[in-house]
Structure 1
Amino acid sequence: MDRSITARRVATLVGEFDRNPAYAGLADALVLLIGDGRIPEGTRLPSERELTEALGVSRTTVTRAYAAVRDAGFADARQGSGTFTQVPGGAARAHDRALLPRQSDRAAIDLNCAAPCAPPQIAGAYAEAAARLPAYLGSHGYFPAGMPELQAAIAALYDARGLPTDPAQIMVTPGALSGVSIVAAALAARGDRVLVDTPGYPNAAERLRSAGARLATTEVDPDQWDLDAATARVRQVSPRLAYLIPDFHNPTGLLMSDAQRERYAAELRRGHVTAIVDESHQLLALEGQAMPRPFAAYASSTITVGSVSKSFWGGLRVGWVRAPLDQMERLTNARVTLDLGVPVMEQLATARLLEDPDATLTDHRARLREQRDALVVAVRAALPDWTFRVPEGGLSLWCQLPGPGPGPGRGLGTALADEAERHGVIVAPGPVFAPDGGLDRFVRIPFTRRIDELHQAVAGLADAWRAVSARQAGASRPRGRVMVA
């Protein structure tokens, strides 16, 4: 099914534009929207007549604007079908950086990975786990659904949030990403459509794609959830599954309100769409605010994945799936084709941490809040033209770069990431988070490093930005795909 966008929606996105001359201003606005991913790649644009009426301009203005967009490489006219958006270079990923820096990068500050260092309580939890381990050495050590005490501890987290949960609804996994793989294997047939966000978490999108899903995207604006667009997209593509991050969305940091969850859940129920809700950042509210109810409280068919990797430590490879009881056998059958469980030591350590999560999280959140605030001050001082929304939780800033549309080829975000590496900073540009391509005026900056490292990183980014600005996003060397966390 071809994706389309209404003339009214285009007019809203374009807003005011330079009318001297009008066709050039409109073309520039369209190129920027396509390049940023706000009009995704492969979208059929409105007819010239429809857009003329919506914008209140002449037909000639729209005709010449569309021609200019095509000439810039951001659209293609198909005989008898209309004008479709495209991104020069396609949806290729912008970097080849793995999750960990390579040997030669040890001196660099790696901002690719939005994961904190371990709080001091982690060592104590492992020590207690080691003391308890001998009691399990007489067994085979396999717990495909998870150790009962950890299942109960995770279920208690949901009980405390107002979502009654039986421990039998919990499957312990080696991280949330593993949970996504299990759900996809159990519920998505090859060729099924799965709705994902753009920008969104790239590793989850790749897991779904590798399972044979056909990804359809819905836009997440930097400052707010666009539920009008999301609900329209659900009706347009009729997906089997929808993967979303309502709690401090990665990478934008947005938090979906209760009213928004209720509305989106109602649309998913109407379309018989199963939500895969990633709660990996749910415990990372940094302002002491009350959190909305779990998404599953509004859609009982929701399958939730979670993890302690972001809230405690990335080296603690423990996550989970929470699902309706009638889905657990199907999920377990799919799970044993992928792995046979999580190491006992890690499960024991996690169970200990979850006995009193606030004992670890109170200081951990305070440290993250200090690092966030320090990063905000540093970016505003060194890069005053960059814009971003200060997130109330999560682990990163989603920064929009100033400047005109990049024209054909790679844009500012990718060029900045290339140049930043030369200045000792590894950072993920917007296209990494864009399943459809685009978003090359954005960059994600985690605040998970020490404050002195963040200051050093911002100084390197500022130097890199000056170099990129001087050459206006010139050619950058080709890259492969990045793995980010």
Structure 2
Amino acid sequence: MGSRLVEQLGVDNVAGTAATALADRIRALILDGRLTVGERLPSERALALELRRSRSTITRTYGLLEADGYVSRLHGGSTRVTLPHGRTAAGADADDDAIDLSIASMDSTPGLYDATVRSLPRLAALRGTSGYSLRGLPELREAVAQRFRDRGAPTSADEIIITSGALNAVNLILTAIGRRGERALVEQPTFPHALEALHRHGYRLVPTPVDVDGWDTRHLNETLLGTRPHVAYLIPDFHNPTGATLPDDERSRIVTTARNVGTHLIVDETTAELDIDRGWAPAPMAASGPNVITVGSMSKIAWGGMRIGWIRAERSVIARLLAVRPSFELGTALLEQCIAVELLDDMPALTSHVRRRLRAGRDAVERGVSGIAGFRMPSTPGGLSAWIDIEAPLSTSLSLAAREHGLVLPPGPRFTTGGVLERRLRIPITLPPERTTEAMQRLALAWEDVRGGAHSRTHELRHTAVI
């Protein structure tokens, strides 16, 4: 098995790359959080063999990284990841003027305060209980189940567990049903922290392509049939980051194929309610078969600070989830659950607010992109972001250059396995329009630097979390 460094770089993506450019790629991985401080890198000889490059090229690459403080080397010993002196996460946070495009999330809904006030009597009534809520409050589970029923998937409250966010839900599922060493089918690109969770649970990732025009469903179904993965992680509504939506007929076909080969489908619906002007509403994949385990969240429609998510699954899976959950948490905070009940009781107002905010953000990004030569923004009918084509494989270089202009920008490869999609950038449509306008002006300046051959090799790129 190859090293983690080469897995992140992708052999084909660095073929013929000079030492300076290779050092920049590795630096971006470090600052992006994909290589961790203290992690041991391959020896010069081993890396040269893996990348099919000369030993002198690798020696110079490591030398450049060491000179800038991104690795430490012991003569005849190991090479380990470091950060330059004085560059800490706290120091990065002190840059109040920086605009962080690694976070695709809006501020709280205007109704959050009133919902919090209304929730207090419900919370007070729970004071006589233990305060632990392994399944979740019955009224919240029923409210979530009703959302599924309204969308065409018959669901009872017994098929719902309330979690501390969607990523918490994914980790709970993998803890309960995961099998180390098995295959997991994932979209390419996809949500980075889901890839990390699957890696952490020991899965071997098998990618299937998604673009702004949608899925290659023939490839997806043939991959399911050919590799018979244990799990598949899909985002069928306003896919993160491409914004695509999977058609109804393809949903049922994928669910059937997965059921026939014994694959658990983990369907992430975190973005399902983020409709601007799609013009149609697909049925949830949960309506097509019992092998679908659905994850949802309040974070994108209400506020990221509300750590409320849920899992919908058949009762046998729910029982397995409840059996393992106490090993790492004893339930979800009651106050957030009480607030969520109030918010879900007024979904029309909530989704109307989200639609207005996303439309304004999308329009601001579109205006900014139109002023950058070579950039192309696809149709974006909803979701969190626009998946921008930048015309040339310079996404990582642009991300590094953007720091000089106070812009935190995850490169396209951050959303992939193997370091591909260097022509792409994810630009959130969730910021206030005036902040987006400023961000796009900074992006234009960074693009001028990259196209002119100048980019930073010393500024940090702080976005270990991509949301």
TM range (shorter): 0.7 to 0.9
Match of 1:169 in 2: 159
* Match for residue 280 of structure 2 among 287, 290, 297: 290
Match of 1:465 in 2: 447
Matched-pair contact (CA < 8 Å) for 2:276–2:358: yes
TM-score of the pair, normalised by structure 1? 0.78
Distance 1:96 1:248 in 2: 26
Distance 1:453 1:169 in 2: 41
Change (3 A) 1:99 1:303: farther
SS in 2 for 1:220: strand
Distance 2:381 2:179 in 1: 37
Distance 1:346 1:454 in 2: 30
Match of 1:442 in 2: 424
1:332-371 deviation digits (Å, cap 9, x = unpaired): 1122212111111000000110112112221221121122
Report the CA distance between 1:476 and its aligned residue. 7.6
Alignment-mate amino acid for residue 389 of structure 2: Q
Residue pairs, 1:61-210, within 5 angstroms:
72=16, 92=29, 95-96=32-33, 102-210=92-200
Match of 2:437 in 1: 455
Distance 1:167 1:261 in 2: 24
Q: Please state if 1:222 is matched with 2:212.
A: yes
Matched-pair contact (CA < 8 Å) for 1:91–1:436: no
In structure 2, stretches of 5+ residues that fail to align are 3-7, 19-24, 35-87
* Match for residue 414 of structure 1 among 396, 405, 413: 396
Distance 1:454 1:229 in 2: 36
Distance 1:92 1:108 in 2: 20
Match of 1:396 in 2: 385
Report the CA distance between 1:197 and its aligned residue. 1.2
Match of 2:233 in 1: 243
The alignment covers a number of residue pairs equal to 405
Distance 2:347 2:207 in 1: 35
Q: Please state if 1:368 is matched with 2:358.
A: yes
Change (3 A) 1:99 1:314: farther
CA RMSD, Structure 1 to Structure 2 (Å): 2.9
* Match for residue 234 of structure 1 among 224, 227, 237: 224
SS in 1 for 2:215: coil
Report the CA distance between 1:221 and its aligned residue. 2.4
Change (3 A) 1:71 1:279: closer
Change (3 A) 1:159 1:101: farther
Change (3 A) 1:145 1:224: same
Tell me which stretches of 4 or more aligned residues in structure 1 moved more than 4 Å: 40-43, 88-94, 97-101, 472-481
Match of 2:48 in 1: none
Matched-pair contact (CA < 8 Å) for 1:101–1:110: no
Change (3 A) 1:426 1:70: closer
SS in 2 for 1:132: helix
Q: Please state if 1:359 is matched with 2:349.
A: yes
Change (3 A) 1:71 1:179: closer
Report the CA distance between 1:91 and its aligned residue. 11
Match of 1:269 in 2: 259
Change (3 A) 1:440 1:93: farther
Distance 1:438 1:274 in 2: 26
TM-score of the pair, normalised by structure 2? 0.80
In structure 1, stretches of 5+ residues that fail to align are 3-36, 44-68, 75-87, 406-411
1:370-394 deviation digits (Å, cap 9, x = unpaired): 22122112211x2141123122110
Alignment-mate amino acid for residue 271 of structure 1: V
Q: Please state if 1:428 is matched with 2:410.
A: yes
Report the CA distance between 1:473 and its aligned residue. 7.1
Report the CA distance between 1:99 and its aligned residue. 11
Match of 2:65 in 1: none
Change (3 A) 1:117 1:99: farther
Alignment-mate amino acid for residue 303 of structure 1: I
